[in-house]
Structure 1
Amino acid sequence: MSTVRAGVPDGRYGRSADERADRKLKIVGAVLGAGLLGVVAWFGYSYISDQDVSGRVIGFKVVSDEAIEVHLEVRKDKDATGVCTLRSLAESGAEVGRKDFLFDQRRDQVDEVVTLRTTERATTAKLVGCKPRG
């Protein structure tokens, strides 16, 4: 009896169509992955580079049922004007005050105590964020 072969011997006639397709898919996947990585890096860099005003709450003091004093430190470029948003919360967690404060001093770092008016007694003050005024 004779044995019948189902296909050609491996490696004798070059790569199969499946191997060529797999290689093309790998190349396309690598190019698309590198492109996606580049787009993510571009957006990340542009987000960070726009952050030229930053701030932090150093401390706060509840002055009355209608006000809280907040010691705020703001870092910015000397020529930049920054706006920082503060909010205060009651013991229940409800927001009882919110205000934007303008910082236009010609210094890199500004330490200032600001007064935030509240609708009821506040228990904390939080910095929502700072941004350049434009």
Structure 2
Amino acid sequence: MQGQDDAPVRAVNAALQTLATVDRLKPFFASMYGIEFDIRVGLHLGEAVIGSVGSPGNERLTAIGDAVNVASRVEAANKEAGTRLLITETLYEQVKGEVEISDFIRVRLRGTSDRITLYEIKKLKVEAERRLNEKGARETMQ
């Protein structure tokens, strides 16, 4: 997002928070419905077009563009890698001082010919988490 310098680290934080929420919900779904599930997240940094798509009465908000396609392919790479959260090198360059990584892998994403480096995010560094908490959700969305 233009004008939001911390957008990359906020995106990583949102992914980490989503994974943590899923982890908290897993026992509930297992005990109440007998369902076991998990999610995977792939993040990339780039431009996208966001808007309504569909016929009147059946519209939905969606994002399209190369960055969205890359993020989708990164998400799919989690399955092969046995990970839950991978980010591209493009995004990693923006957040490397703010995150701790578990590992990195070199892969060829579906539909591409070149190998790229993906980073598995372990957590935000304490200072980055503190800065985000000080700002609060309302301030970061302006």
Question: Taking structure 2 as the reference length, what is the TM-score of the superposition?
Answer: 0.22
Q: Select the structure with the greater relative contact order (CA < 8 A; seq sep ≥ 6).
A: 1
Higher Rg: 1
- The structure with the largest strand share of the pair is 1
Question: Taking structure 1 as the reference length, what is the TM-score of the superposition?
Answer: 0.23
- The structure with the largest helix share of the pair is 2
